[in-house]
């Protein structure tokens, strides 16, 4: 009987650790620096905090992704791709990038070069 209680407590702790862990991983990175990458090439790189509202069109083999920046956030507004996964992913809010596999497109936060600059400077 006592062992069962400990097992229950242990499961609870593990569950809690898992939840906390996933929150930490999915938290927005400590940067507003975002880049749009296609086939491993950085097409656009900007600071969302200082970027004006705009729509950027990126083409791949005649297929277009329309990427919108609004209120210092970024998402895929429209896309010609068949799966529409990139559109359905919504706003970029975490370290997990927005990916459009058919159009070889990735939108992601770039890891904080700020801290490195601080050390170097």
| Residues near Zn ion, by CB under 5 A | 79, 81, 86, 100
| Nearest approach, Cβ of residue 91 and Zn ion (Å) | 15
Indicate the residue among 64 and 95 with the shorter CB distance to Zn ion.
64
Indicate the residue among 79 and 106 with the shorter CB distance to Zn ion.
79
Separation CA 68–CA 55 (nearest Å): 4
With 0-12 / 13-18 / 19 or more C-beta atoms within 10 angstroms meaning exposed / middle / buried, residue 51 is middle
Q: From residue 50, how far is each of 8, 32, 110 by CA, in Å? A: 49, 9, 16
| Nearest approach, Cβ of residue 99 and Zn ion (Å) | 8
Indicate the residue among 48 and 85 with the shorter CB distance to Zn ion.
85
| Nearest approach, Cβ of residue 107 and Zn ion (Å) | 11
Separation CA 72–CA 46 (nearest Å): 11
């Amino acid at each position: 009987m006592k062992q069962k209680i400990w097992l229950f407590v242990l499961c609870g702790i593990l569950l809690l650790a898992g939840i906390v862990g996933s929150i930490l991983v999915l938290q927005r990175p400590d940067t507003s620096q975002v880049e749009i990458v296609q086939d491993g090439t950085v097409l656009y790189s900007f600071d969302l905090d200082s970027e004006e509202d705009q729509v950027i069109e990126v083409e791949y083999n005649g297929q277009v992704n329309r990427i919108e920046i609004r209120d210092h956030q970024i998402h895929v507004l429209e896309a010609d791709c068949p799966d529409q996964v990139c559109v359905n992913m919504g706003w970029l809010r975490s370290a997990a990038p927005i990916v459009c596999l058919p159009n070889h497109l990735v939108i992601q936060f770039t890891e904080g070069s700020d801290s490195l600059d601080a050390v170097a400077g």
